[in-house]
Amino acid sequence: MVYISYSHRIITDCDFIKWVSQSQQKSIIISKMLRINVNSKEHRKQNILILEQDFDELCKDGIIKDKDTIRGGVSPFDINEEMGDLADKKLPLEALRLITGVVLTRQKPFQVVLLTTKEGKKNYLSKYSDFLEKIRNFDIKCEDEALVIINDLYRSYCSERENSR
Amino acid sequence: MTINVTFSEIELAGDLKSFVSFNSNSCENEELKKIILSYTDDDELLKVTKTIASPIKIIHVEKVTEELLSKAL
């Protein structure tokens, strides 16, 4: 078995998971996300995260049908546990995702990407431009560019596995 | 009070084999243990169902297939 120090940690939002669920490639995308998570050296089963609230909403809406399997590819993350209770601040979910992304930049590999849709990215960039402008190790990628990141991390697993044989 | 929780998670075959080897009573039956120890590819992804009634006990294992994933989302 090989364990990989991936170049990025990933957080996904609801819209991205909905977008994946409509893709003809969804099985391949999920299998790559599972692989990235399970073989992560520093963050076993938690290299790709989703806010717990987003995960619950996707289950409630029937987008996630098998939560045990999907949890392997996107691990629900409780930002309140990490940061103390942010619930009193009544922040919108999109702000909580950005805060989570920045919080994760404190840990290896110190590079975090939020995966979303084209519309989602536009929304984050227009509403939170001041917040995002100064952060160098946190990025937002949408749809096909998000898949590039997933493919890159998956390729690092494949190449490490080849080298270990 | 009786505690009995069932949950499933995705594991690498190699990790599961190690777990089973170190915990002699971790499988519900001998046949399941044999199936787990017979996986030759340690990097195989498996969906493992377990119970916590006292120690962790594995009650079901299946390979992560395209069919499983296509129904998951």
Higher pLDDT, B69 or A83: B69
- The pLDDT confidence band at residue A87, using thresholds 50, 70 and 90, is low
Q: What is the ipTM of this complex?
A: 0.77
**Is A17 within 8 Å of B14 when comparing Cβ atoms?**
no
- The full set of domain ranges for chain A reads 9-164
For residue A72, list chain B residues with Cβ-Cβ distance below 8 A. 9-10, 45, 47
Q: Give the pLDDT mean for B9-33.
A: 92
Q: Is B68 on the interface with A (CB under 8 A)?
A: yes
pLDDT in tens, A26-68: 999 999 999 999 999 999 999 999 999 999 999 999 999 999 9
A8: helix, strand or coil: coil
**Alpha carbon of A102 to those of A33, A47, A111, B22: distances in Å?**
21, 14, 9, 39
pLDDT in tens, A132-151: 988 889 999 999 999 999 99
- The full set of domain ranges for chain B reads 5-72
Helix axes A26-38 and A143-164, enclosed angle (nearest 10): 50
Chain A nearest-CA distance from B24, in A, is 22
pLDDT at B55: 81
Q: What letter does residue A40 receive in the DSSP assignment? A: B
